[in-house]
Structure formats: C-alpha cells, structure tokens
RNA sequence: GGUCCUAUCGUCUAGAGGCCUAGGACGUGGCCCUCUCAAGGCUAAAACACGGGUUCGAAUCCCGUUAGGACCGCCA
C-alpha cells in the first residue's frame, strides 16, 4: 500500500512556522516512503477564507520546496459530497436533526460556564420525534463507551465517550463542519497517515467515531508537538515573525528554515546539518519527540549562515539582487558580483545583511564614517598612500595574491606592520573600519574603483592638512 | 471548570535499566589564529522538576505531586 499524507491548512492567513513544519513532516514522510503528498485547502468557513490566504500558503510551500503530488483540493467545492454522506448517516440513525438555534446554544453555553458545568451540548434533540419545519443542524450521536486513539508519537490515548459531545457535522445552512469534512476527505483521498499538530488530539476521537459510523478503516495518526514562543506559549505574532515568507524577506535561505524546522521536534542522533536528501532518507515518525519545543531564532540564524557559506556565489548573487534594489542598486549586469559575494559570504548571517554590507562596492562615491576617518585618514598617511597608488597601478594583475606581494614590499621598505596600512586603506575603500580582508576586497572591487578611492582619500587627507 | 498532552543544560536535543563522572548543537565566557569584522580551532560554565515505589542497579519502568501547554464553537 502506498503511503499518502496530506497537508490541510485553512486559508485564513499566511503559512506560518507551525503549519510549515506540519507540511514539512508530511512531505518528508511521503517522500521517504515514496508515497504521495496531497495538498488540501480547508475552506469550509466561507466567511473567513480568502483568496489571498490561499495564494500566500501556496507561495510559502513553493518557496520551501514542498511540492505536492495531488491537489490543491478545495473543500468548498465538495459540499455535495459531504451532504451526501451526512444524509447517509442521518438515514442510518447515527446522526440526528438538531433544531436548537445558535442563539439558544450560546445562551446555554454561557449559563453552563457560569455555573461551572462543562459547556457540553445536552442532547435535547437527540430523541426528538417530530420534524418541525425549521432549519436544523445535523448532529452526530456519540455512542456510549470509550474510544482509543492509537498515536504513533504519543502512544495510546483513551477517551471516555461521555466527555465527547454530540458534534454538529452539518450546519443549518447545509454547509459541513471541520471534523466531518476531514474524515470524508481523508477517506475519499485514501489518506494513510494523518500527521498534524497535537492541538488536534481532542478532535481525534470524534473523527474516529465518524470513521466507524461510515464503516471505514482508520488511518494511522501521528500528532506532532506544538512549536512554542520564547515564553513557552503557542507561537504567535507576539513572538516576532511567524510567516514563512517573512523569513524570505529577512534574507533566509529556504533550506536553512527547512533544516531548522526538521530538527525542531525530530532528531537523528547528534546530527544537526542535513541536506534535503538526507532528511528524506533519515526521517521517521519514530524519532519525533513528544514534547513541545521553543522556536529559537538564534539557531536558525546559525544554520542560515552555514548554508550561505555553502551556497555558490553565483546563486547567492541572484538572491541578493532584490535586497540591493532596496538600496537603489541595480547590480545584475555587474560582472564583479560573484567575486564580491565571495568576500562577503563568510561574514553574513542573512542575505539581507550581505547586501547591506556590500553597498560600498557599488556606489560611485562613498562617505567616510567620521570616527573612522578621524582615526585613520591622517595627513601623515599621504605619502604612504601615494606609494600605495603607485603599486596598485603598477601591479601586473590585480589579484589578491600579487597585491599582497606588492604590499609586503612596501611594508618591508618602511618597516611597518600590515595593520598600519590595512586600516587606513580599509577606511579609504569602504568608508568604515569593518570589511572583508583587504586583499580579497581589492581584487573583488577591481583596480579602477580601488585606485579612484585611494585618490579620493589622498585628496581628503590633503584637505584635512590644509585646515590644520 | 472539564478532557487530553508534556517534563534532560537558557534553547533544540542524544539517551530503549548497567555503556552516564549524562553526550552533541545554538547561544554565552575565555584562549589561539589575525589587516578590521567574521569564519575556524581549542576550552569553560550550564540539565535528568519533586516525592515515593519496582530493581542488585533508574535520566530510563510504575504511581503521585508540581509546573507548563493544547483543546472544550453551527472556527479550522
């Protein structure tokens, strides 16, 4: 039997971190078993579902590389199917018509809560014989006894059916409700493994009861522990960015997020770094932990940095262009781009950070950081810079290697340490005191720009001398 | 309030009764390297929630306590 898993988000917002991990685990499990991964949009709540949300979820999935084999299926297009099954259950007598109005139910709920009783439906329409000409909801008649959820991750969980209320499976307007659609869909789509957040555990016995009433075999259930924020409550906007696409905008690589999410709740010995293929090969539900985990942005950052170092400069260039645009820089035609990135990628935690620190490579003129200029662009360095200019113009090939040799000869001549030369030059070249290594940076920048910046620095130092 | 889930360094985790003086990773501190910043290398501090059992032996199995979390809708 082929494994079939599904991810079934409701389109009431963007794809968030928790949903992405659920999707990822479903995807990994399906891929590991050479099965099918199905995408289903749970939009039975017509009022809250939006087209924008659907698109946002699809975008997020695509960015993460979680491709689906079937779907997206939309529950809103399957209402006839649900109604048909609801009627069957009604005829079988395992469901009944409930004529209580939402207002009445709400009033009773509040009263119960006030008196400290469980806000459970009292079943007053259960054995009603008449059929008044009024709108009715279809309720499932929960049988007595106990229902056992056999969960791959959590183990066996027993529920007393008396704690489960007669749930509505079809609203009085004829639309189906969640617990019912899920079962009908999972049955008709031949889902073999239901992998979802453990916030669904309490729904599971209800769904099992419906499976039984329908006469269908149960899928295997696996309930994933929640992802928590730093205060150990359910991850939400209060904890910062929760939208997957926000991570794209912050300059994260999709695989960094995938690797991070995979390791949040799942482990493979002491291994931290996994390629996509390794993830597929090594993933198993057995090694998913039971306890919830706190989302840790620092570790994500570390992984991102790791994968940035691991990515070819050419590819990074492509990814960096949109971030450069925000600085008003169009670098797509700049042949220096890959070389520039090579100097930067060892020291960037995000693509955005890399773009921010690359700006000096692209500007016509740079501005000096006042403190840096005051400390390093001193008139006493004019002579040194003139020598530098000669060497830089004279060196046969403008590479890190020959530049280093050329610089060393200056240093030897003047009896200087590299620091005395590198820091002033760094300020002249970049405007600040922090940058990539001086030789690799010169090579990446190119002779033309380097020479012009040294000249500018000499002019600047002369001005300073004149003022003094 | 009811139902259910969970409990190892600050965080993610390894741990399947003796391999545990509890391992790895992120983060944090120190040292080395060094033209700045990183990266890299080395290193340090840092945890079995508590109480009872079971056992020759418990982080590991059982029970309880405590603490956290989720769910209890004509939302999904």
**Which nucleotides of chain B have an atom under 7 angstroms from any protein CB?**
1-8, 10-16, 23-27, 34-40, 68-76
Nearest nucleotide, CA A357 to C1' = B37
Using C1' positions and the CA of A228, the closest nucleotide is B69
pLDDT higher than 90, residue A415: no
pLDDT tens, residue by residue, A255-285: 999 999 999 999 999 999 999 999 999 999 9
- Local confidence band at A465 (pLDDT 50, 70, 90 cut-offs): confident
pLDDT at A116 over 80: no
Query: By the 8 A CB rule, do A40 and A75 touch?
Result: yes
Task: Report the catalytic residues of A.
Answer: 237
Question: DSSP characters for A187-238?
Answer: HHTT--EEEEEGGGGGGHHHHHHHHHHHT----EEEEEPPEE-TTSSB--GG
Judged on CB neighbours under 10 Å (0-12, 13-18, 19+), A427 is buried
Nearest nt (C1') from A44 Cα:
B76
Could you report the per-residue pLDDT of A367-396, keeping only the tens digit for each? 999 999 999 999 999 999 999 999 998 888
Confidence band for A111, pLDDT divided at 50, 70 and 90: confident
Interatomic separation, CA of residue A61 and C1' of nucleotide B33, rounded (Å): 43
A444 falls in which pLDDT band (50, 70, 90)?
Answer: very high
Question: Among all strands, which nt has the closest C1' to A267 (CA)?
Answer: B13
Q: Is A238 a residue whose pLDDT tops 90?
A: no
pLDDT tens track for A68-86: 999 899 999 999 999 999 9
Average pLDDT, chain A: 93
**Does A161 score more than 90 pLDDT?**
yes
pLDDT bucket at A417, cuts 50 / 70 / 90: confident
Give DSSP secondary structure letters for A27-60: HHHHHHTT-EEEEEE----TTT--HHHHHHHHHH
pLDDT over 70 for what percent of chain A?
A: 100
Q: What is the pLDDT of residues A280-319, one digit of tens each?
A: 999 999 999 999 999 999 999 999 999 999 999 999 999 9
More confident residue, A4 or A408: A4
- Residue A133 pLDDT more than 90? no
User: Smallest Cα–C1' distance to nucleotide B75: which residue has it?
Assistant: A45
Residue A453 pLDDT exceeds 80: yes
Q: What's the rounded Cα separation, in Å, for the pair A200 and A187? A: 18
Residue A149: per-residue pLDDT: 95
CA of A162 to C1' of B50 (A): 33
Residue A123: its pLDDT value, please? 85
More confident residue, A195 or A126: A195
User: How many of the other CB atoms lie within 10 Å of CB of A75?
Assistant: 24
Half-sphere exposure of residue A425: CA atoms within 13 angstroms, side-chain side? 24
Residue–nucleotide distance: A405 CA to B43 C1' (Å): 36
Q: How far apart are CA A199 and CA A219, in angstroms?
A: 18
CA of A294 to C1' of B9 (A): 15
Taking residues A198-217, what's their average pLDDT?
Answer: 96
A19 pLDDT tier (thresholds 50, 70, 90): very high
């Amino acid at each position: 039997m082929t494994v079939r898993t599904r991810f079934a988000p409701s389109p009431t917002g963007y794809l968030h971190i928790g949903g992405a991990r659920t999707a990822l685990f479903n995807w990994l499990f399906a891929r590991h078993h050479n099965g099918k991964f199905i995408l289903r949009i749970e939009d039975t709540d017509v009022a809250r579902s939006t087209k924008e949300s659907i698109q946002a979820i699809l975008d997020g999935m695509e960015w993460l590389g979680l491709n689906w084999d079937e779907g997206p299926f939309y529950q809103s297009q399957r209402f006839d199917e649900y109604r048909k099954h609801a009627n069957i259950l009604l005829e079988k007598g395992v469901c009944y018509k409930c004529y209580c109005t939402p207002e009445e139910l709400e009033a009773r709920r509040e009263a119960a809560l006030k008196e400290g009783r469980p806000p459970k439906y009292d079943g007053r329409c259960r054995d009603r014989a008449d059929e008044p000409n009024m709108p009715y909801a279809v309720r499932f008649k929960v049988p007595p006894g106990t229902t056992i959820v056999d969960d791959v991750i959590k183990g066996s969980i027993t529920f007393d059916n008396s704690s489960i209320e007669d749930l509505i499976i079809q609203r009085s307007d004829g639309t189906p409700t969640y617990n019912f659609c899920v079962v009908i869909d999972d049955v008709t789509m031949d889902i073999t493994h239901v992998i979802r957040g453990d916030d669904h555990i309490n729904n599971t016995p209800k769904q099992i009861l419906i499976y039984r009433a329908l006469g269908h075999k149960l899928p295997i259930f696996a309930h994933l522990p929640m992802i928590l924020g730093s205060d150990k409550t359910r991850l939400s906007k209060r904890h910062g960015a929760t939208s997957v696409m926000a991570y794209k905008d912050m300059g994260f690589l999709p695989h960094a997020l995938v690797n991070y999410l995979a390791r949040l709740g799942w482990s493979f010995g002491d291994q931290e770094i996994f390629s996509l293929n390794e993830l597929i090969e090594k993933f198993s539900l057995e090694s998913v932990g039971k306890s919830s985990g706190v989302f840790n942005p620092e570790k994500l950052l570390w992984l991102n940095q790791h994968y940035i170092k691991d990515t070819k400069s050419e590819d990074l260039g492509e990814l960096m262009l949109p971030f450069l645009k925000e600085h008003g820089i169009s670098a797509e035609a700049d042949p220096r781009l890959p070389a520039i990135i090579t100097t930067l990628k060892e020291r960037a935690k995000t693509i955005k950070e890399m773009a921010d620190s690359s700006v000096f490579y692209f500007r016509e003129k740079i501005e000096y950081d006042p403190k840096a200029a005051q400390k390093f662009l001193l008139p006493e360095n004019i002579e040194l810079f003139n020598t530098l200019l000669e060497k830089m113009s004279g060196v046969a090939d403008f590479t890190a290697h020959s530049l280093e040799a050329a610089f060393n000869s200056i240093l030897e001549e003047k009896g200087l340490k590299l620091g005395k030369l590198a820091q002033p030059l760094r300020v002249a070249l970049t405007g600040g005191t922090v940058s990539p290594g001086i030789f690799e940076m010169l090579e990446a920048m190119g002779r033309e720009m380097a020479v012009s910046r040294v000249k500018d620095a000499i002019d600047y130092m002369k001005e300073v001398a004149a003022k003094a």
